[in-house]
Structures are given as structure tokens and as C-alpha cells.
Amino acid sequence: MNIAERHQKILEILTQEGHVDVNELSQRFSISAVTIRKDLKLLEEKKLLFRSHGRAIANNPYIAENHVNVKEKLHIEEKQSIATFAASLIQSNDHIIIASGTSVIEFARHIKNIENITVLSASLNASLILAENNSIDLMQLGGIVRQSSSSVVGPMSESMLSGYTFTKLFLGVDGIDLDYGLTTTSAMEASLNKEMIKAAQQTIVLADSSKFGRKGFGKICELNDVDQIITDEHLDEKTRQQLLDKGIDIIVV
């Protein structure tokens, strides 16, 4: 197999599986990992794939900033399924944190008929929804308003968390990379999310399957810093198995 044939085969595998691994390709073609990395570099220069930590993927993993009004129109059914399941995890007398993002806004719509719960919300949109529910003691996090996400961030937000302990954090993210961890497009939001994780006994991530294999600018945490990830049925089986192998409690709805 010459180099052109090998490149064509790599692209075929990439199309079928969504990503290729350097070591797997090395064994498959009986050539060195160094040669495979050179192959992937050449293919990346031709804009045919994107390299990422010992492997390559078909789509650009780096996430652009979009307004919450745009993101809310994407993957609606998946977010509704995730929100329904997430809401079923809330118990009476829970004290929970809701972070920001469209998944947690949808989650807020599904919090109903639960007595004696306290909710601290970073999302302005989620707070407006929850304010109509008389059974919820609602606390709005203060801070700098981040217009693209209609949420608050900054030192004031972070310091407010230090005086409380919460039973659960429901966290939305922009990207989940199996090696790098959880990310968002904002460094300030990532910093706030880290403090939320410290303040909560349990961290539950709400992320539709499109978030996997993606990266944002601000790193929130490692995968093993979360207790559970709730996603939709479109998550590929290989990624699901890799998450299970890492000891991550992954719920597919």
C-alpha cells in the first residue's frame, strides 16, 4: 500500500468511525506511529481532518461562541429528554445549583411538583422560569452579566458560593473531550463552574451528544471530577464504552 492508498484508507475509516487512533492505525498498517502522525499532519494541512491527542477526528473540535437564543434552537428533542430525566433526580429538601446554558434552561422548565427545594441559579433565563414556581426557594447568583449566555460570572458570583453547601449541581457544558475533560467557551464561566463543583456534593452534567469530542476555550474540570453525565441516545457506542471504562456514570436517555 503506497502513501496515497494509505491516506485514502485512513479517510475511509474516519468517515465510518468518526475518529482514528494513531496506535490502532500503526498496528493496522504495520508501520510506525511516527509515520502515522506524519500522515495525519499532511491530511490536516489539506483540511481533511483535525488532530487531537494521539488521534484525529472529522470535525473541527473547537467551539465558536454562539448566543443562547441561537443554541436554544439546536437539538431540542434531545435536551427535553435529558431535562426530563435530570428533573427526576431532584428530591424534596434538595439544595441545588443550576449553572448556565440551554440544557439547564430546559431543565428548569421540567422542575415541577417537588416540595421544599432551594435553587441557586446562575442563568437569568432559568431564574425567570423558576420564579413562577411557588414551591421553590429561588436564589439568583449575582455578578457580571454575560450577555451571550444570559448568565452571571465573575468574582462576586464565586464568592457568593463560599457560604453554602449544595446537594447537587446541574451543569451544562460546551465540550466534553475524553482526554482533556469538560470545557466552556468562556474562561470566566469555567472559573465559576469550578467553584460550583467545590460547593456541591454531587455534580451532574447535562450534555447532548453533539458536545462530545468538542473543546471550548475555558477548561472546567477533568472527567473524573463529575459524578454523572446525562446525554441522548445518539452518543456512539464506542464513546459510551470509553466513558464507562474511565469509571464515569453515563446515562443515555
Phi, psi of 101 (to 5 degrees): 110, 165
Q: Dump pLDDT digits (tens) for 205-248.
A: 999 999 998 889 999 999 999 999 999 999 988 889 989 998 89
Instruction: Out of 57, 84, 102, pick the residue that ends a domain.
Output: 57
Least confident of 4-8, 48-52, 159-163, 218-222: 48-52
| Alpha-helical regions (H) of the chain | 3-17, 22-29, 33-45, 68-71, 76-87, 102-109, 124-130, 155-161, 187-199, 237-245
Q: What are phi and psi of 111, to 5 degrees?
A: -85, 100
Do 37 and 79 belong to one domain? no
pLDDT at 66 over 80: no
Tell me whether residue 63 is in a domain: no
Q: How far apart are CA 76 and CA 21, in angstroms?
A: 32
Look at residues 197, 251, 248 and name the one whose alpha carbon lies nearest to residue 220: 197
Q: Of 91, 90, 114, whose CA–CA distance to 206 is shortest?
A: 90
Please give the grid coordinates belonging to residue 62. Answer: 473547537
Predicted confidence (pLDDT) per residue in 112-130, tens digit: 888 899 999 999 999 999 9
- Asked if residue 117 is part of any domain, the answer here is yes
Percent of the chain scoring above 70 in pLDDT: 100
- Over range 82-94, report the average pLDDT: 97
Look up the CATH number of the domain holding residue 19.
Answer: 1.10.10.10
Q: Sort 244 into a burial class: Cβ within 10 Å, 0-12 / 13-18 / 19+.
A: exposed
Please give the residue that has the higher pLDDT: either 66 or 182.
182
153 inside domain:
yes
Domain extent, residue 110, equals: 68-252
The band of 73, judged by pLDDT with boundaries at 50, 70 and 90, is: confident
Same domain, residue pair 12 and 102 = no
Question: According to the model, what pLDDT value does residue 128 have?
Answer: 97
Nearest to 145 by CA among 205, 191, 194, 100: 100
Cβ(101)–Cβ(149) under 8 Å? yes
Comparing C-alpha atoms, which of 231, 239, 188 is closest to residue 82? Answer: 231
Please indicate, yes or no, whether residues 178 and 232 belong to a single structural domain of this protein. Answer: yes
CATH number at residue 197: 3.40.50.1360
Q: Which residues face 141 on adjacent strands?
A: none
62 domain-assigned: no
